[in-house]
Amino acid sequence: MSSKYIGLMSGTSLDGIDAALISIDKDGCVHFEHSISAELPRELKKDILQLCSTSHDEIELLGKTDRKIGQVFAEAALALCASANIKTTDVTAVGSHGQTVRHRPPDNSRDYRNAFTLQIGDPNTIAEISGITTVGDFRRRDIAAAGQGAPLVPAFHAAAFADPLEERIILNIGGMANVSILKKNGDVTGFDTGPGNVLMDSWIQHCQQLNYDRNGEWAASGSVDPALLQYFLQSNYYRQTGPKSTGREQFNMQTIEEALKVFPCIAAPDVQATLLELTARSICDAIEKSSTANSSLFLCGGGSANLALCQRLKILLPSHAINDTSALGIPPDWVEAVAFGWIAHQTLNHLPGNIPAVTGAKGSRILGAIYPA
C-alpha cells in the first residue's frame, strides 16, 4: 500500500511555488506522480525580498507575509490535487519547505547557539485551508543540533538516487547551488557550492526587468571579464570546507554592486557572462575537490535548463558523464519539491531527515513539526 505526499518548495530564486505529488510504497521507494507550478504574486515576492535584508517594521511585515505565503502554498496544494484528480483525503501529508527569509548558520564567527534559519509560510494556515496534515519547519532542528540546517536534500538524494555500482553526484542549481556526493559504499557528503542562479537573476532583473536569463542567451552574448571573475572568486566562502551553506545574505545584488565599484566600466552583458562563469567555476571547483574522476553527474533545479551554463559545465568537467535526474526517474525541475514530500514522510514515521556528515549536526534528527488537518 502506497502513501501519497505533496511536497511544496519555493526557493531562493523566488521563481514560483513547485508542488509535487509523490507516492511512497511499503519498501520506501519514491514514485513521482504529478506536479504543477504556481506563481508568487508580484507584491508578495516584493515583500519576501524586503524581508531578506534589514528593513523598517520587519516584525509587522514578517507576520503578514508568513500568513500570505501559507495561503498561496495551500492554494498550490489544492490546485495540485485538482490537477491530479485526487481527493485531499487521499494525501497523507503536505511537506512544506516554506520560504527562506534569513539564513545565519554557524561559522567561525558565530557560535552555533546564536545561529538561526527562518522559513516562513505558516503551516497552520496550509493545514487549515487545504484540510491536509502539514509538516513544516524542517531546518531549525538541525540548526539546534549545531548543524547548518542545509542542505537537507542530500538525505533524499541518497535514498532515491544512490547506486552501489557507481559514485554519483547530484547537482542542484537553484538560487544557490548544492552538491550531493553519493559514494558507492553508501557514504554521503554535500554542501552549498555558492551562487547558482541568484546573481545572474538579480543582474538581469536589474538591467532588463526579466526574471531570468532564458537559456543563458544574454550571458552568451557577452564575454567573461577575468579580473571581475577573480574578484568574485576571492570570497571567503569558496575557501571554506564543508559542512557549509549559504544564501542571499552572502550572494545578492549588493555583491554585484560592490564589485562594479571596483570595475565600473564593464558592459552589462559581460557582467552576466562573468556571473555565469562564476557559478560554473565554483561548482566545478567544488566537484573536483570532493569527488572521484569519471563519476556520473546528474543535474536538477532551474539552472539545469540554462543551456549556456550546462555547456560550460561539460567543458569544465570533461571526465564526468553529465545527465539530468530524469534519467533517474524524477524530472529535474521537481526534485526539491519531491524531497520535502519525502522528508514529511520521514517525520511522520519517526525517521531522521538529515545527514550529520553533510550538515554538521551532532547526530541524526527527526526534522519538522506536524500540524494536523
What confidence tens digit (pLDDT) does each residue in 182-199 have? Answer: 999 999 999 999 999 999
For residue 114, count CB atoms less than 10 angstroms from its CB and return exposed for 0-12, middle for 13-18, buried for 19 or more. Answer: exposed
Q: What are phi and psi of 265, to 5 degrees?
A: -110, 25
DSSP secondary-structure letter at 193? Answer: E
Task: Evaluate whether 332 touches 304 at the Cβ level (below 8 Å).
Answer: yes
Cell of 59: 516584525
Residues contributing to the annotated binding site: 11-18
For the chain, which residues make up each domain, given as ranges? 3-152+334-371, 157-328
pLDDT value of residue 27: 93
What's the rounded Cα separation, in Å, for the pair 46 and 59? 16
Rounded mean pLDDT of 338-350? Answer: 98
The answer to whether the 3-152+334-371 and 157-328 domains have the same CATH topology is: yes
Higher pLDDT, 284 or 292: 284
Give the CATH number of domain 157-328. 3.30.420.40
Q: What is the pLDDT of residues 8-38, one digit of tens each?
A: 999 887 889 999 999 999 999 999 999 999 9
Catalogue the E-assigned strands of the chain: 3-9, 17-24, 30-38, 91-96, 99-104, 116-120, 134-136, 168-173, 176-182, 188-195, 296-300, 321-324, 369-371
Please write the tens of the pLDDT for every residue from 325-339.
Answer: 999 999 999 999 999
Q: pTM score, two decimals?
A: 0.95
**Where do the H-state alpha helices sit in 251-306?**
253-262, 268-290
Which among 348, 329, 350 has a CA at the least distance from the CA of 91? Answer: 348
**pLDDT the model gives residue 259:** 98
Mark the binding-site residues for ATP, compressed into ranges.
Answer: 11-18
**Over pLDDT 90: what percentage of the chain?**
93
Q: Which CATH number fits domain 3-152+334-371: 2.60.120.1440, 3.40.1050.10, 3.30.420.40, 3.40.190.120?
A: 3.30.420.40
pLDDT at 148: 96
What is the Cα gyration radius of the chain? 20
pLDDT of 292 higher than 90: no
Measured in whole angstroms, the distance separating CA 145 from the mean position of its chain's CA atoms is 21
CA dist 248 → 93, 198, 224 (Å): 30, 8, 23
> CA-to-CA distance for 353 and 335, rounded, in angstroms?
15
